[in-house]
């Protein structure tokens, strides 16, 4: 089975929020936001290189991290227009269920703070440093 289909199938059949398939190995998480991606790349910078990823929600922050991580293909149930633009710029193949102008914060009254933090950032390395520093506090 194709690795992206495998990741999407696992995402849809479990309560995982994030699934990555790399070299036949499945990595998943129930954490929200960018936490699953950040945890994997902090533990091993190559953990997602060449992987297929399926995620419930992808905003620009997550997209920048996935580009930096070397993800090969992506599926998002929901994706922001900012993320789509960035992924297209870096030629990362992606599919999605629905697109939205931006990812909402958890209160539902504004933009996700992580997406807002990197809204003007287009360099994956710079975004990683900004997001890593922000998530450490």
Phi-psi region of 53 (alpha: psi -120 to 50; beta: other; left: phi over 0): beta
Say how far apart CA 118 and CA 112 lie, in whole Å: 10
Q: Is the model's pLDDT at 137 over the cut of 60? A: no
pLDDT in tens, 23-50: 999 999 999 999 999 999 999 999 999 9
What domains sit in the chain, N to C, each tagged with a CATH number?
3-136 (3.40.140.30)
Say how far apart CA 66 and CA 74 lie, in whole Å: 9
3-state helix, strand and coil shares in percent for the chain, rounded to the nearest 5: 40, 25, 35
Look at residue 1 in the predicted model and tell me its pLDDT. 60
Under the banding of pLDDT at 50, 70 and 90, the label for residue 16 is very high
pLDDT in tens, 106-136: 999 999 999 999 999 999 999 999 999 987 7
């Amino acid at each position: 089975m194709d690795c992206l289909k495998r990741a999407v199938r696992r995402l849809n059949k479990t309560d995982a929020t994030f699934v990555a398939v790399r070299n036949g190995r499945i990595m998943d998480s129930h954490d929200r936001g960018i936490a699953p991606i950040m945890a994997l790349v902090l533990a091993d910078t190559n953990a997602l290189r060449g992987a297929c990823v399926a995620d419930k929600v992808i905003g620009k922050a997550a997209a920048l991290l996935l580009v930096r991580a070397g993800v090969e293909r992506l599926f998002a149930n929901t994706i922001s227009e900012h993320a789509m633009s960035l992924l297209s710029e870096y030629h990362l193949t992606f599919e999605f269920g629905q697109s939205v102008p931006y990812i909402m914060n958890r209160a539902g009254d504004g933009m996700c703070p992580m997406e807002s933090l990197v809204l003007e950032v287009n360099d994956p390395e710079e975004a990683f440093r900004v997001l890593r520093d922000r998530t450490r506090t």
